[in-house]
Amino acid sequence: MKKQIISTELAPKAIGPYSQGIKIGNMVYTSGQLPIDAATGIMETEIGKATAKCIENVKAILEEAGSSLDSVIKTLVFLENMDDFAAMNEVYGKYFNENPPARSCVQVAKLPKGAVVEIEVIALCD
């Protein structure tokens, strides 16, 4: 099985030597997405808006790969501050309200570019 590099202008460009996503077989793996607007380069810093932007960036990568948020089976959420958990969870739940995927959520010491949240996913291809 050959891996396919997934890249879209609708999500921020990688800030290091990695791909936005990888598709192999019927699986898609996204890199962690920061709350950066791909068009403007502006990063959201309010946790609710930042969570939505991360998920919208993930969604763009999944759609480029022929998948969707409905096909996500696992998410990993990195928070700069676990005190933001409830606010993040409220927005996250709007995107994954029915049949939500498995999820891990961890607090980290620091995220790239000073982000307040980063989200990555594993999804099936539709």
Enzyme catalytic residues: 105
End-to-end alpha carbon distance in the chain: 18
CA gap 109, 43 in Å, rounded = 19
Amino acid making up residue 61: I
